[in-house]
Amino acid sequence: MKRVVITGLGVVSSLGNTVEDFTTNLFAGKSGIGNITKFDASSFRTRIAGEVKDFNPEPVINRKETRRIDTVAQYTLVAADAAIKMASLDLVSENMDRCGAIVGSGIGGVETWEKQHAVLLNDGADRLSPFFVPMMIVNSPSGQTAIKFGFKGPNFAVVSACASSGHAIADAYNQIILDNADVMLCGGAEASITPLSVAGFISLQALSTRNDQPEKASRPFDADRDGFIMAEGAGIILLESYEHAKKRGARIIAEMTGYGYNDDAYHITAPDESGDGAAKCMEMAVKRSNKKLTDVDYLNAHGTSTKLNDQMETLAVKKCFKEHAYSINISSTKSMHGHMLGAASAVESIATILALKNSVIPPTINQEKKDPACDLNYTPNQAVKRDIKFALSNSFGFGGHNVTLAFSKFDE
């Protein structure tokens, strides 16, 4: 079977808009959570989020184009450009029919949707932008990526709520395994810090209301957790077949060795408290990687900072790994960058890859009070040095969607 390697990474997030800044802040345990500035949230019960800061798309997208591309696709293009540059991929010499892009998003161009709906109500149907539909559709990030870089291979969007970008990466992996492509840009993006989106999650009672301490609000596995923190951004990974990467002399960062995905078939928003689906998902990823459960060194948890999810995931890890569960370093990087919804899995996969590459476990910050139901090693508050050879990244989405991605240190 073909081997699939990682040669490029790109990230836009509340922890930084370059891989370098993201890495520094990730391992330093810095929080990217702050007060919402994108709109007046003073009347909202939750007034904090993981916003992208100092974002400038113009080195990649000219000013005229930015007016015709929703923020979610702008984040995608900037992250994709960074991944291509890190991989030193020569777009002139590549066979573009063998290059593809799969980008997931949970909500898509909701910013455009809200603005144009206001235009409809206030000014009438004739005043809507002709770019409304192409800006707001969920496949805009993947389509814009193909157009921008000339990728003519497999291209589509994946929507599975907070598992979207994990499924996108797994599908991209499969395109290479099936010999449909040599190169795949994959990941996800979200730009959902908008009044309607935030209000919607507030109405679900899913968000933290720790408004007076934004940097301490996201506290996965902590006994005092009270909900997740919405965040935005993009994560893009450049996957290649090993043969293709070796032939062009690419620097290989890590290897993707497998994945697992399934569904709880339980509830539209709540996870199955038994943890059975999540446990089987992790087991599938390990098995597909031709590894043993005891080979797992690190797990980047879904770890949302909600009562139900964190308890379920802890139970699932125990069900899957038995006694080895206590030997695994676990962390939820959502404690730092927040919950990026459809982009979460991609950015957390990048965090996992960086942990493999640097032999450093990122921390779960804000671990202050132990929850008896969450008793594993969550790498509290400070990064830890560890030689990681095999790691997993979990993501679970509304609808019961589970996905686990498996990454290994590259060995020639």
Q: Which tens digits make up the pLDDT trace of 332-347?
A: 999 999 999 999 999 9
> Which positions of the chain have pLDDT values less than 70?
none
pLDDT for 51: 98
Residue 50 identity (one-letter amino acid): G
pLDDT for 308: 96
- What are the structure tokens assigned to 342, written together? 């459809």
pLDDT for 291: 98
Radius of gyration of the chain (CA): 20
CATH fold of 1-400? Peroxisomal Thiolase; Chain A, domain 1 (3.40.47)
Task: Give buried/exposed letters for 297-335 (b at 16+ CB in 10 A, else e).
Answer: bbbbbbbbbbeebbbbbbbbbbbbbeeebeebbbbbbbb
CB 175 within 8 A of CB 184: yes
CB 138 within 8 A of CB 373: no
Annotated catalytic residues are 162, 302, 339
pLDDT for 1: 81
